Each structure stands twice: as C-alpha cells, then as structure tokens.
Amino acid sequence: MSDYVLKLKKPMIFEGTEYKEIDFSGLETLNTRQLKEADKMVSRNVTSLTMKEVTLEYACIIAYLVTNLPLEFFDGLGAQDGVALRIFIMNYFFE
C-alpha cells in the first residue's frame, strides 16, 4: 500500500542492506497498547508541556513499533529524511 511508504531522499545502508523507502503499513494495526509503550519510552525525555506526537523522538519510536527496524536505524537517517519521518507520522495521527 503506497500510502504507507515513505521514500527516502537519501538511500541509507543499514546492516548491509540499502533502504530507499520505509514501509509503514504496520500503522494499520497499531493499537493502544503500543501507544502506551511509546508513551513510556518517550516520557523520559519529553516534558509534559510538549505534545509528544509532534516530536522526532516519538515518531522514531512509533516507526520502530510498526516496522521490523530497530531504533538505531531511524537514528541513522539523514536530517531531511528524519524531518520527513516526523511529518509522516504526525500526518497519520492528525489527519
């Protein structure tokens, strides 16, 4: 499903595999338990005054939860792709 694919501006090599896009079709099955897990993971670094859903950290955690990729993968994205990831996840939550 192409609605759930983020094409990377800069291909990335991670653990010997080249990635040109990220498949987020796992968002279709995201559930409240996973959201609570993400909340716990992000609460250490995001203050209560920050809307966590707009942070890059939260976007990376959600991406980790719905793909088969580790958090370290998302830490290695180029800056433009990191921002695109944040916007992609925000759009999913706020459409």
User: What's the whole-model pTM score?
Assistant: 0.89
Determine what percent of the chain is predicted with pLDDT higher than 70: 89
Which candidate, 17, 94, 27, places its Cα nearest to that of 67? 27
End-to-end CA distance of the chain: 17
Q: In the prediction, which pLDDT does 1 show?
A: 45
Q: When comparing pLDDT for 42 and 61, which is higher?
A: 61
Task: Say how many domains are in the chain.
Answer: 1
- 14's enclosing H/E stretch is strand 5-14
What pLDDT digit, counting tens, does each position of 1-41 carry?
468 999 999 999 999 999 999 999 999 999 999 999 998 88
Residue predicted with more confidence, 58 or 43: 58
Task: Say whether pLDDT at 56 is over 50.
Answer: yes
Q: Collect all residues with Cβ–Cβ distance below 8 Å to 69 and sequence separation of at least 6.
A: 14, 22, 63
Q: Determine whether 86 is exposed, middle or buried from the number of CB atoms within 10 Å of its CB (0-12, 13-18, 19+).
A: buried
Segment 52-81 mean pLDDT = 95
- In terms of residue numbers, what domain contains 11? 2-94
Measured between alpha carbons, how far is residue 84 from residues 29, 47, 80, 90 in Å?
Answer: 22, 23, 6, 10
